[in-house]
Amino acid sequence: MQSSQRAATGKLESYTIRGFTTFFSARNGNTNLRSYDSANVARVFANTLNLAARFDFSRRHYTRVVAGWEYVASRNTTNNRTSGVAAGVGVVTPPNWDLANPATWDRTVPALADARLTAHTGTRFWEDKFYLVDALALFDERLMFLGGLNYSKINNLSLNHLANTRIRIKRDRTTPQSGAVFRVTKALGVYVNYSESFRQITTLRTNADRSLTPFDPLIAQGLDYGLKFDFGDGRYSGQATVFDTKNINGRQSFSATDAIGAYTYETQVGENRAKGFELRLSANVTKNLQLVGGYTQAHSYISKNPANPAIVGRAQIRSPTHAWTVTSSYRFASGWLKGVSVGSNLSYRGQAKAFETNDAYPYLLDPRVVVKARAGYSAKLFGRPVSYNLLVSNLTNEKYYPSSISMGDPTSYRFSIEYRY
- List pLDDT tens digits, range 229-252: 998 788 999 999 999 999 998 887
For residue range 329-367, what is the model confidence (pLDDT) as tens digits? 999 988 899 999 999 999 999 998 887 666 666 788 899
Task: Report CA dihedral (345, 350, 351, 354) to the nearest 10 degrees.
Answer: -50
For residue range 135-194, what is the model confidence (pLDDT) as tens digits? 999 999 999 999 999 999 999 998 888 888 888 889 999 999 999 999 999 899 999 999
How high is the mean pLDDT of the chain? 85
* Stated pTM of the model: 0.73
**What pLDDT is attached to residue 381?**
87
Distance CA 173, CA 69 (A): 15
**What pLDDT is attached to residue 194?**
97
Whether pLDDT at 271 is above 80 = yes
For residue range 4-49, what is the model confidence (pLDDT) as tens digits? 344 455 555 555 555 554 544 444 444 444 455 566 777 888 888 8
Of 10-14, 107-111, 245-249, 375-379, the range with the lowest mean pLDDT is 10-14
Distance CA 368, CA 412 (A): 17
Class of domain 9-21+40-59+123-419: mainly beta
CB-count exposure of residue 33 (10 Å: 0-12, 13-18, 19+) = buried
Higher local confidence (pLDDT), 169 or 292: 292
**What pLDDT is attached to residue 211?**
86
Of 86-95, 139-148, 232-241, 297-306, the range with the lowest mean pLDDT is 86-95
**What pLDDT is attached to residue 359?**
65
Highest mean pLDDT among 105-109, 317-321, 372-376: 372-376
**What pLDDT is attached to residue 5?**
40
Cβ proximity of 90 and 48 under 8 Å: no
Of 72-86, 197-211, 258-272, 361-375, the range with the lowest mean pLDDT is 72-86
Cβ proximity of 351 and 364 under 8 Å: yes
Question: Which of the four pLDDT bands, split at 50, 70 and 90, describes residue 254?
Answer: confident
Whether pLDDT at 55 is above 70 = yes
**What pLDDT is attached to residue 357?**
67
Whether pLDDT at 282 is above 90 = yes
Question: Which of the four pLDDT bands, split at 50, 70 and 90, describes residue 90?
Answer: low
Distance CA 230, CA 238 (A): 7
Question: Which of the four pLDDT bands, split at 50, 70 and 90, describes residue 222?
Answer: very high
**What pLDDT is attached to residue 18?**
55
For residues 197-203, average pLDDT: 85
**What pLDDT is attached to residue 143?**
95
Print burial letters for 330-350: b (CB count within 10 Å at least 16), e (below 16): bbeeeeeeeebbebbbbeebb
For residues 363-386, average pLDDT: 92
Question: Which of the four pLDDT bands, split at 50, 70 and 90, describes residue 317?
Answer: confident
**What pLDDT is attached to residue 15?**
54
219: β partners: 198, 248
Q: How far is CA 24 from CA 39, 73, 120, 149, 157, in A?
A: 11, 14, 18, 34, 20
**What pLDDT is attached to residue 17?**
53
Whether pLDDT at 324 is above 50 = yes
